Amino acid sequence: MIATVSKNFFLYLSQNKGLNQAAKKWGLKFGAAQVVAGVTIEHAMQTVKDLNENGIVCTLDHLGEFVSSREEAIQATEYNVRTLEAIGKTGVNSNLSVKMTQLGLDIDKDFCIKNMCQILDAAKRTNNFVRIDMEDYSHCQVTLDILRELREVYGFDNVGTVIQAYLHRSLDDVKDLKGIPLRLVKGAYKEDPSVAYQDKPVIDKNYMRLIEEHLLSGSNTAIASHDHEIIAKVKDFVKKNNIPNDQFEFQMLYGFRTELQQNLVKEGYKMRVYVPFGDDWFGYFMRRLAERPQNVSFAVKGFFSK
């Protein structure tokens, strides 16, 4: 009961636009620096470089979502292009992750696609890959529609997306996206029971179904989980089904389960860390607190250290 109240509280805070705006002026507070890699591209490049030296590859996410003006969306697009250019210039091993609402999806879909094309052009110039993050359920179908358009109409093959295991629709989506690189996650937004499973055992079972489906189709699969039981099941599954290590990778968030990350590297698995950075950190941080009650210790320690 307490865990549910805590989760709902932090998810509510994550969507509070006033707090999100105020947090941009605060700098990284409440322990957020443990899970957000600074606020500038330079900070991000150094973090990625350090992780690369430990055998870990990355995907960078310039934090920001639900922008309300074209100017903000254009600025975010340009910043993502500069991030890709910095990756190319420094030679670090990192992809890029982006959110469609940061690029103006809620303003105009075609405007968002135009911005995304600029980012994908920059990724192609630097021989890189871009992952479209999945957001809340209301943006799910349109995000998949945009992915299809980018790949089939505009011819970009350097783009994939994310599928969330707690959504009822996700198995059908994974089947429909055969051959497209997917990151598979459990899901981190508060969704209605009419569209999303609510119980962890049910979500976990569906998660494994999605992973198995995409792997058996021969598709590139990123298993994004901190759950050691899920990771152990995936290891067993790929061995039993002779799935090569270069067809899949494990992914985790920056600042979480670092010892497990290193163990996977030592075992010969590809380990990618999702590295968020930027001044729009509040919503991301609140969702991390909501996901796992033990994460709240980050905030409590951070609060009392200020």
Catalytic residue positions?
133, 183
287 is in an annotated binding site: yes
257 is in an annotated binding site: no
Handedness of CA 33, 227, 45, 84 (dihedral sign): negative
| Nearest CA-CA partner of 258 in 271, 245, 247, 269 | 271
The answer for residues whose C-beta is within 8 angstroms of residue 172's C-beta and 6 or more apart is none
178 is in an annotated binding site: no
175 is in an annotated binding site: no
**Alpha-carbon gap, residue 288 to 254, rounded angstroms:** 11
186 is in an annotated binding site: yes
Give the tokens for residue 211: 């992973």
Between CA 289 and CA 292, with CA 291 as vertex, the angle to 5 degrees is 75
164 is in an annotated binding site: yes
6 is in an annotated binding site: no
**Alpha-carbon gap, residue 114 to 94, rounded angstroms:** 23
| Nearest CA-CA partner of 210 in 249, 250, 170, 243 | 170
Give the tokens for residue 13: 């805070």
235 is in an annotated binding site: no
225 is in an annotated binding site: yes
**Alpha-carbon gap, residue 2 to 58, rounded angstroms:** 34
62 is in an annotated binding site: no
102 is in an annotated binding site: no
Q: Which amino acids are annotated as binding site for FAD, given as ranges? A: 134, 164, 186-188, 200, 225-226
Q: Which amino acids are annotated as binding site, given as ranges? A: 99, 134, 164, 186-188, 200, 225-226, 287-288
Q: Which amino acids are annotated as binding site for substrate, given as ranges? A: 99, 287-288
